[in-house]
Amino acid sequence: MNSLEKNTALIKQTAQKLGFSYCGIAKAEQLDEDARRLEAWLKQDMHGGMQYMENHFDMRIDPRKLVPGAKSVITLLQNYFPGEQQSAGSPDIAKYAFGEDYHEVIRAKLKTLLFVLNQHIGEINGRGFVDSAPVLERTWAVKSGAGWIGKNGNLITKQSGSFYFIATLIVDIELNYDDPFAKDFCGTCRKCIDTCPTDAILDNKVVDGSKCISYFTIELKDALIPAEMKGKFADWIFGCDICQDVCPWNRFSTPHTELKFTPIPEILNLSSKEWEAMSEEGFQTIFAHSPLKRAKLAGIQRNLSFIKPG
């Protein structure tokens, strides 16, 4: 076994020990096709008020500008599909937010992985990212063989569906690279497109972020949600799983084993009235390590008010 094989094996074995469901590796290079797609998406204002999507364009399409000397992009998947469901009558919250903030949980794992690599391989320049930096992680996931991009814009794996977080570790060492995932198993299925209540999913694997329920309930910081969206949110107050819940591939989803993603009891059980009556102090105490803190209590209560009948 040569050094490339040894180092690649070490990365994949360590990733498995850390609880990642998948680890694949691709060569660091500029993403020309994605650059064209991203530019067109931005020009059509499909990012809505998410102005940060316009920033660092050159870094988004070339990981070598994020990590000088980068040679490899490591993609890691972390299952978050819960074994528990929310109680009947509780307003809907996206499954990824049931437990602790995944940014904190996965970032710690990436630091551990990089530490192990530095210990066993030598000094490595690398940076880990999880949904908080200019990285086109879904493209890198496909390039590393993890799965394909579904019509709803999510990465879908043939074995377990799409309820995964995608983490990326960019390093300045060469490794053995996995074959890209070359097939698309969505076929003629349109369930995600036809079921989206706000028509955010277009028929060419493009999602109009400015129409997505997740955008309105999390990203939109304005005091008011546009009136024309009234009655289209069902019971969603934080994020939305509709396009994933109807995806046939998610019948293969299995519950995660990450203790830190154990659902916060209040998320499973609070009624709308209890959410409305919650104090700022109570919110800060209960959701100190939850993704819900991103929307803040005022945002959650605004969303609750918006989904009320009338």
DSSP-derived 3-state class of residue 117: helix
- Which residues are registered as beta bridge partners of 72? 27, 171
Please list, in sequence order, all residues whose beta carbon lies within 8 angstroms of the beta carbon of residue 288, skipping any fewer than 6 positions away: none
Domain check: are 134 and 281 in the same one? no
Q: Smallest Cα–Cα separation from 94: which of 251, 248, 214?
A: 214
Q: Give the count of beta carbons closer than 10 Å to the beta carbon of residue 235.
A: 13
Domain check: are 138 and 216 in the same one? no
Instruction: Give CA–CA dist 166/154, Å, rounded.
Output: 10
The answer to whether residue 279 sits within a structural domain is yes
Q: Give the count of beta carbons closer than 10 Å to the beta carbon of residue 115.
A: 12
Q: CB under 8 Å, gap of 24 or more: what pairs does 265-271 form?
A: 267/86, 267/90, 267/93, 267/97, 267/98, 267/292, 268/84, 268/85, 268/86, 268/87, 268/90, 268/98, 269/86, 269/87, 269/90, 270/90, 270/91, 271/89, 271/90
DSSP-derived 3-state class of residue 221: coil
Of 171, 205, 226, the residue at which a domain comes to its end is 171
Which is catalytic among the residues 32, 34, 62, 131?
131
Domain check: are 204 and 147 in the same one? no
Of 171, 205, 231, the residue at which a domain comes to its end is 171
Domain check: are 148 and 18 in the same one? yes
3's tokens: 């050094």
Handedness of CA 28, 101, 248, 191 (dihedral sign): negative
| Contact (Cβ atoms closer than 8 angstroms) between residue 66 and residue 125 | no
What pLDDT score was predicted for residue 51? Answer: 60
* Catalytic residue status for 131: yes
Q: Which of 21-30, 115-124, 221-230 is the least confident region?
A: 221-230
Instruction: Give CA–CA dist 110/225, Å, rounded.
Output: 36
Domain check: are 10 and 125 in the same one? yes
215's tokens: 């955008």
Of 123, 138, 171, the residue at which a domain comes to its end is 171
Domain check: are 163 and 24 in the same one? yes
pLDDT band at 165 (very low <50, low <70, confident <90, very high): very high
- Which residues are registered as beta bridge partners of 165? 78
Instruction: Give CA–CA dist 230/227, Å, rounded.
Output: 5
DSSP-derived 3-state class of residue 119: helix
Residue 89 Rama label (left phi>0; alpha psi -120 to 50; beta): left
DSSP-derived 3-state class of residue 143: helix
pLDDT band at 260 (very low <50, low <70, confident <90, very high): very high
The answer to whether residue 51 sits within a structural domain is yes
What pLDDT score was predicted for residue 262? Answer: 98
Domain check: are 286 and 139 in the same one? no
Q: 139 is in which domain, residue-wise? A: 3-171
What pLDDT score was predicted for residue 295? Answer: 94
List the beta strands (DSSP E) in the chain: 22-27, 72-79, 92-93, 126-129, 148-149, 155-156, 164-171, 236-238
Domain check: are 119 and 20 in the same one? yes
> Structurally, how many domains does the chain consist of?
2
10's tokens: 């070490």
Identify residue 38 by its one-letter amino acid code: L
Domain check: are 10 and 110 in the same one? yes
Domain check: are 101 and 201 in the same one? no
Q: Which of 54-58, 75-79, 241-245 is the least confident region?
A: 54-58
- CA count, 13 A, side-chain hemisphere, 66: 27
Rounded mean pLDDT, 35-53: 63
Domain check: are 156 and 10 in the same one? yes
Cα distances (angstroms) measured from residue 176 to each of 6, 24, 45, 74: 9, 10, 38, 11
Q: Give the count of beta carbons closer than 10 Å to the beta carbon of residue 227.
A: 7
pLDDT band at 148 (very low <50, low <70, confident <90, very high): very high
Domain check: are 140 and 274 in the same one? no
- At 243-255, the pLDDT tens digits run 999 999 999 999 9
Confidence (pTM): 0.93
